[in-house]
Amino acid sequence: MRKEYKQLWDNQYGSNPVKDDRLTSVAQNWVNTLGKLDAGLIRLGLDNLHVRSNPGFPPNPSEFVALCYEMSFEPVIDEIFDYINRKSDDFEWTSQLAYNVFIKMQYDKLKGESSGVLYKRAERIHRAIDRSDLVPVPDPVKQIEQKPLSDVERKLNEFRLKINCQFMKSKVATGVIGDRIDNHELKQWMVEWYEQGRPNIGDFLKGKGVKL
């Protein structure tokens, strides 16, 4: 951090982390914070420093922890829900992390769980998983003469993915995770959305009372 921010870091946290042969309170706070993170998360946090809105200002420990998780879980859960909703043997994983989180979710053994439960478990696994010990993603199994999706099937898959992700994000943000949208209700919404001429998904969800 000091190498990255130089004088800005010294001005905010001091130039020497040790005083009277002991870590300063500021340095000890950083040690305690970083001790809770694995090497992969710390690397991600350092990478995210360069793309945040105010890269020239040193973060405090809490801000750095947030950077370690920022822009990492959303793509993971989006890809996991994409895989679940497609149910396709030739699905091609783009994220090694997403694939490893999905494996640890044991989805095939617990298929009856709601999207809310799946979301929360994926989030817990994502925070705890050892990013230095990930298994490689498998090669997609190409099916012979696979029938392409129709426009309707493609649109319904897109709807299913977006409604799962958008609904769960809003509920997590408000601290309310429920099972209100089960498979039956989700199918009803999909039919209504299609019969209404496939309007903007965000507007449709707001009309259903989902706070985005």
For residues 174-188, one letter each, b for 16 or more C-beta atoms within 10 angstroms of the residue's C-beta and e for the rest, the string is eeeeeeebeeeebee
For the ranges 14-28, 58-72, 175-189, 197-211, the maximum mean pLDDT occurs at 14-28
The rounded mean pLDDT for the chain is 73
Token pair belonging to 108 = 């095939």
For residues 38-66, one letter each, b for 16 or more C-beta atoms within 10 angstroms of the residue's C-beta and e for the rest, the string is bebbbebbeebbeeeeeeeebbeeeebbe
**C-alpha distances in Å from residue 85, one per residue of 54, 111, 125, 152:** 37, 12, 20, 15
19: which strand partners? Answer: 22
Is the confidence at residue 11, as pLDDT, over 60? Answer: yes
- pLDDT: is 118 or 87 the higher one? 118
- Return the minimum-mean-pLDDT range out of 9-18, 104-113, 141-150, 186-195: 141-150
- pLDDT: is 51 or 143 the higher one? 51
pTM: 0.41
Is the confidence at residue 143, as pLDDT, over 50? Answer: no
So what's the pLDDT on residue 181? 45
10 Å CB burial of residue 101 (0-12, 13-18, 19+) is buried
| d(C-alpha 14, C-alpha 7), whole Å | 9
What's the mean pLDDT in 51-79?
73
What single letter denotes the amino acid at residue 196? Q
